[in-house]
Structure 1
Amino acid sequence: MRRLYTLSILLLLSWGIFAQNSYDLVIVGGNPGGIMAAIAAAREGKTSVILERTSHVGGLPVNGLGATDIATRQATTGLFSEFTSRVKQYYIDRYGDKSQQVKDCSDGFHFEPLVAAYVYKQMLEEHKDRINVLLMRQFDAEDKNISLRDGHIESIRILNRETGRHETYFGKIFIDATYEGDLGAAAGVPFRVGRESREEFGEPGAGRTYEYWKSLPAEGSTGQADNAVQAYNYRLCLTDDPARRIAFPKPKSYNRKEYVSLIEDVWTGRNTQRVMAEVTDEMMEENRRHIAGGNHSKLPGDSWGIRKLSSLVKLPNRKVDGNNQHAAFLSTDLPEENWPWPTSSWEWRDKFAERLKDYTLGLFWFAQNDSELPEHFRKEISQWGLAKDEYEDNGYFPRQVYVREGRRFEGVYFFTAKDALPVSPGKRPPLHSGSVTASHYALDSHAARKRETGRVHLDGFISYPTAVYTVPLGVILPRKVDNLLLPVPVSGSHIGFSTLRMEPCWMALGQAAGITASLAIDRKTSVRAVDIAILQDILIREKATLIYYRDVRPEDKDFPMVQYLGLRGYLTEWDADLQKAVDEATLRNWEKLCGFKLKATSGKTLRGEVLKEIFNVRK
């Protein structure tokens, strides 16, 4: 089949189509990782085509994920910071710098979906001479859709969903920016789907795991490996503003049986918080009587109204980002049914997407209308609905499923929990000298199975704190394909991937991918042979944080020096302390690292001055 495809390429060449559909970078997927790859490459003078399957670019941030998932905001910068700065500026320009909208945007980290779409469009249009965005272009992970020779991708075949015809795209470097990892799979890169055992890498929360929310182990946790994929949902943009609110419609496929377990959970207050370990049956029955008297639930850890169904994070203009309610047995996640998604066809995925949409709408319609629920509970939820100025072409409902985890590739470096956990209390996680971004989020996975009798929570729902860590370039590099980069379906275990899978990190990895691709093109080498020091220099120039320090920011004049020397082991603590005097032990250690005698006096010379001497010689 691939031989026939190669022959067809020769015909295309003779017809002149090669020049028309040839780019430096061919990027499959118009999510933030793909967008930032294209922008970073454009800044290096390279052309890109973004092939996006839907009619909109922007991925999850333009489809409801308006509350940015990041634990330490200064950990990830570069193009991601440019995005958040532009979001904030949008609200300042439109509403004034003292407005409620500016306050609610939280320095650009909280935004309406329509604003995210505006900012991504703005960033792309600034490079429209080098970036071509093509919508409704579908790549299917099949052999016939890729021409691969001697570890080198020559071209890929794409379905134009509007015309029904296939198109061929040629590139020097190909980037898989899909949430599913479809291009990497077609290129033959080894991948994993499902959960590793606790034994394989010694990771907390690995394998089959039942825990009270926020990680209190419970009976049934075996740690065994399986093929389970953490649940997907839709991130909803909701509002309680009557002028902006659209009522939840009752879906045609509505099935009341799917939601009836919510009735007892509301009346008794049952939830999955840690405090439930101390709650008795008598306490739950007392709560039932309390609610019957017209009151809200008084059970510890319980939520009332819409917060029983969905977590809410405030966005500007009286909107919220509605995510799965982690302390609930029944919420907007739909575990188990999504397991085939990573490796399934788009025909199957589209059917599941519609099923998930109907399930989600049915859940809220049930909560607002079912007579067996407390009347005052239903009334409170009825204050909420879909925002009528979002997704107007899709019935005010998000256009894209939140695919939290698809294929996870086995690349040059395989990221696990140990890469995100401190080596000892108060210390950093292991430092990767080949870091292309710092990042920070918990080891965080949603449920893999639905409610099971006698279990305190849903299988797989875990959250473990991490510390700001470094991400090596190797997580986006395949071992054998020379001109492919994987900034979204990165290399890692289920638990390791669970912290990398946040849009800020994906944007940073996309930026690194765009620069790596540009360097590989300029030097006519494979992506694995790119000089990491040159790549890091460019990233630092673009104000990307590769190793995080609490006291040095990208705008500081010493930022390049601290980044350069930090990656080389001179600064291993959380603070650079440039204005403190260097002590004897540190001075001797730095001399050992740099290999020459330093012109400094311990207890007198400032650390910053010593580091400048080293930097000027070594750089």
Structure 2
Amino acid sequence: MKLTTGSLLFLLTFASFASAAARDVKTDVCVYAATPSGILAAIAVKKAGREVVIVEPSRWIGGVLGAGLKPMQDCPNYAATGGMTKPLLKSLGQPKEGRRLSTAELSPKQIRADFQVLLDQYEIPVIFEHRIGACQTKDAAIQTASFDLAPFDETGCPPAEPTQRDDLRITAKVFIDAGYEGDLLAAAGCEYRVGRESAEEFDEQAAGVRPVVQKTPIDPYRIAGDPASGLLSMVKADHGLPIGAGDQHTQAYNYRYYTTNDPQHRLPIPVPADYAAEDYELVGRYVAYLAEQESDPEKLRKRLIGIWPGWRNSREWNYQRDSLISMAPLGISQEYAAGDYADKAGVWKAHRDYLAGLRHFMATDARVPQSYRDEVAQLGFDGRYHPDTAGWPHQLYIRIARRLKGRYTITEHDVYNRRQVEDPVALAQYGIDTYPSRRIIVKEGDKTFVANEGNMFVGGSKGPTNVPYPVSYRAITPQADQCTNLLVPICFSATHLGYASARMEPVFMIAGESAGIAAAQAIAEAKPVQEIDMQKFAGSLAAAGQKLQWDPAVDQNGGSGGARLDFATLLKECDQDDDSLVCAAEWSVGKPGYDWLFAFIDADNSGHIDGKEYASFQDYKANNPKWRELLQAKQ
């Protein structure tokens, strides 16, 4: 069946119903998941003159960018981007005319709409509500992929069981796994990694089990002081492995969600059906501890916000890693990473119920100050962003799941620019960013603490060297004896540490476009993806505008190290209305990820940064090498 625009309506309508017989679709390239990476991969295939179909497990497109994360939030170096990604990072969610929106003002609903415009422009069909069931392979190549009809529920959670197995079969010449879980690569029989490697395995200094953080002297037992009574919910015994040891744990997931107290837009956050206050007793004890430690009501309020709703990133809420307890559960991500669909559904719904239950607890427990209980009680989901899922984001933020065991493994050494790559498909730059993996009890003599483990952010957003590093083509292709017609631009080959830096949406988008170009070339040359003409491939990437090399002596990333920046440079980056001032919205667009810094520089609270204020800030930076840490601690 050749897919055309006319057949698309049939496919989308038919996807909502179970069928007795499987539908068979033939195409050149099948892309699994309509993530930003998958969408750009499909467009690249279409630009090359090949037919392509996207199969999306849910009812929505845009992945986590369509669910709350902003395009420029994890892009510390815009100059290191290229191809289709570069203009999209600054255009997604923006109005076509008039004032540009700040990062915080961008709506995931509009970002989803913008991705749909792209799909319509290139006439790329998307088959929704189907997830990979199995792959039929021959001679290490996928012949046909079978998909099960499995509609997500009304809150955007995936089901444990499908409605109809083997509902869709797609025969393609090349497949691209652009999902966050690596389910297609696993179904194809490719080897993969989950969990944390030991420090020894790849000689990575910060790998494996890490020292505990947020160590807090609160009683973890159901009956205070009685270990025999068992541990409270939300805390577990330590597995006893030493620092640097590998294990199966992985960093926390969470929703990136929106709240409001405005009755016009507020949607209720229902109390889970199985809610039990005792499941949140550790939260109550933590709140009581904070109340004892913080005599200043406003400082206490900030600490309570860190528990629920969390950390306000750019208007949407994220996990507050400086809090012992925050808005997502710990210690269950590993069950999702390589679990079956029932495991994944259970973990996803556990995040939903935990978030809703925690909100109810913070609004009702007597240990929470009355003023903050009242504040929480007035908050609900903001219905303007996810109206069709009762305010719940349709995508859980899966920071890491499976990672392909490919022909090249990205490690800590890549992040530190210690390795040379001759076959780049993208540049990456970010710190080694892992959210906590576990919450455990810690004993020191006769004292007992509760602490988190696995949280670190090495190098900050710009990374430990402030220099981009290349992502190898070999990292997005499997071993040739495992699959010869599969590309993996998201769950690519990396250690837990390497992936913790490279796992950013701009990198996935750039790698997705490169994967689409490679897929089209493999078809044209009738070769395995591992054997395409690399010189020709490099030429195609260059023609697409991909930025794949970085020379620190020539390339500039907008400031590095301790370099002093002047106001004239700031105006070039940010001043859109030529008034020789920088307002908050202009700052947000020109300095993505640094919205929190504007209020500090704007010393007179005028709503604008002038030359004198910016010079004063540069003096502060020169006198305080750890200025980021100092200022963020004051927030």
Q: TM-score range by the shorter chain?
A: 0.7 to 0.9
The letter for the 2-side match of 1:87 is L
Once the 2 structures are TM-superposed, how far is the Cα of residue 205 of structure 1 from its aligned partner?
2.7
The letter for the 2-side match of 1:125 is D
- 2:338 alignment counterpart: 343
User: Is the partner of 1:229 in helix, strand or coil?
Assistant: coil
The letter for the 1-side match of 2:194 is V
Matched, 1:139 2:132: yes
- 2:453 alignment counterpart: 459
1:192-240 C-alpha deviation (Å, 9 max, x unpaired): 1111111112223311112447xxxxx9961111111222221212335
Structure 1 pair 70–266 and aligned structure 2 pair: CA distance change class (3 A): farther
Once the 2 structures are TM-superposed, how far is the Cα of residue 550 of structure 1 from its aligned partner?
6.9
The letter for the 2-side match of 1:250 is V
Mapped contact 1:36–1:514 kept (Cα < 8 A): yes
Once the 2 structures are TM-superposed, how far is the Cα of residue 344 of structure 1 from its aligned partner?
2.2
- 1:525 alignment counterpart: 527
Give me the whole-angstrom Cα distance separating, in 1, the residues matched to 2:22 and 2:176: 19
- 2:103 alignment counterpart: 105
- 2:476 alignment counterpart: 476
- 1:516 alignment counterpart: 518
The letter for the 1-side match of 2:118 is M
- 2:76 alignment counterpart: 71
| Structure 1 stretch displaced more, 189-198 or 378-387 | 378-387
1:341-400 C-alpha deviation (Å, 9 max, x unpaired): 123222332232222201111112222222221122323444543111222221111122
The letter for the 2-side match of 1:226 is D
Once the 2 structures are TM-superposed, how far is the Cα of residue 421 of structure 1 from its aligned partner?
0.9
Give me the whole-angstrom Cα distance separating, in 1, the residues matched to 2:22 and 2:541: 32
Give me the whole-angstrom Cα distance separating, in 2, the residues matched to 1:372 and 1:311: 18
- 1:602 alignment counterpart: none
- 1:22 alignment counterpart: 26
User: Is the partner of 2:509 in helix, strand or coil?
Assistant: helix
User: Is the partner of 2:70 in helix, strand or coil?
Assistant: coil
- 2:253 alignment counterpart: 232
Gaps of 5+ in 1: 1-16, 214-218, 270-283, 424-429, 555-573, 575-619
Matched, 1:444 2:430: no
From 269, 284, 300, the counterpart of 1:248 = 269
Structure 1 pair 334–38 and aligned structure 2 pair: CA distance change class (3 A): same
User: Is the partner of 2:170 in helix, strand or coil?
Assistant: strand
Mapped contact 2:24–2:168 kept (Cα < 8 A): no
The letter for the 2-side match of 1:370 is D
User: Is the partner of 1:166 in helix, strand or coil?
Assistant: strand
Percent identity, please. 27
Give me the whole-angstrom Cα distance separating, in 2, the residues matched to 1:146 and 1:545: 34
From 111, 118, 136, the counterpart of 1:116 = 111
Instruction: Point out the structure with max Rg over C-alpha.
Output: 1
Mapped contact 2:82–2:547 kept (Cα < 8 A): yes
Superposition map of 1:53-68 within 5 A: 53-66=57-70, 68=73
The letter for the 2-side match of 1:411 is G
Give me the whole-angstrom Cα distance separating, in 2, the residues matched to 1:286 and 1:485: 52
Structure 1 pair 286–509 and aligned structure 2 pair: CA distance change class (3 A): closer
Once the 2 structures are TM-superposed, how far is the Cα of residue 527 of structure 1 from its aligned partner?
0.7
Gaps of 5+ in 2: 1-20, 152-162, 215-239, 443-447, 557-562, 564-635
Once the 2 structures are TM-superposed, how far is the Cα of residue 328 of structure 1 from its aligned partner?
1.0
Give me the whole-angstrom Cα distance separating, in 1, the residues matched to 2:328 and 2:208: 19
Superposition map of 1:409-424 within 5 A: 409-423=404-418
Give me the whole-angstrom Cα distance separating, in 1, the residues matched to 2:282 and 2:61: 37
- 1:279 alignment counterpart: none
Structure 1 pair 212–337 and aligned structure 2 pair: CA distance change class (3 A): closer
- 2:610 alignment counterpart: none
Once the 2 structures are TM-superposed, how far is the Cα of residue 152 of structure 1 from its aligned partner?
1.4
Mapped contact 2:78–2:86 kept (Cα < 8 A): no
- 1:334 alignment counterpart: 329
Give me the whole-angstrom Cα distance separating, in 1, the residues matched to 2:403 and 2:494: 6
From 156, 162, 165, the counterpart of 2:145 = 156
Give me the whole-angstrom Cα distance separating, in 2, the residues matched to 1:79 and 1:553: 20
Structure 1 pair 541–553 and aligned structure 2 pair: CA distance change class (3 A): farther
Give me the whole-angstrom Cα distance separating, in 1, the residues matched to 2:28 and 2:195: 34
| Structure 1 stretch displaced more, 58-67 or 387-396 | 58-67
- 1:51 alignment counterpart: 55
The letter for the 2-side match of 1:47 is E
TM score, norm. by length of structure 1 = 0.73
Give me the whole-angstrom Cα distance separating, in 2, the residues matched to 1:418 and 1:119: 37
Superposition map of 1:573-588 within 5 A: none
Mapped contact 1:336–1:448 kept (Cα < 8 A): yes
User: Is the partner of 1:158 in helix, strand or coil?
Assistant: strand
Matched, 1:359 2:354: yes
From 92, 97, 113, the counterpart of 1:87 = 92
Structure 1 pair 203–39 and aligned structure 2 pair: CA distance change class (3 A): same
Mapped contact 2:439–2:450 kept (Cα < 8 A): no
TM score, norm. by length of structure 2 = 0.71
The letter for the 1-side match of 2:173 is K
Mapped contact 2:310–2:327 kept (Cα < 8 A): no
1:397-448 C-alpha deviation (Å, 9 max, x unpaired): 112222211111110111111001144xxxxxx3422111111111111222
Structure 1 pair 38–360 and aligned structure 2 pair: CA distance change class (3 A): same
User: Is the partner of 1:297 in helix, strand or coil?
Assistant: helix
From 32, 36, 48, the counterpart of 2:36 = 32
1:551-595 C-alpha deviation (Å, 9 max, x unpaired): 9789xxxxxxxxxxxxxxxxxxx9xxxxxxxxxxxxxxxxxxxxx
Matched, 1:487 2:480: no
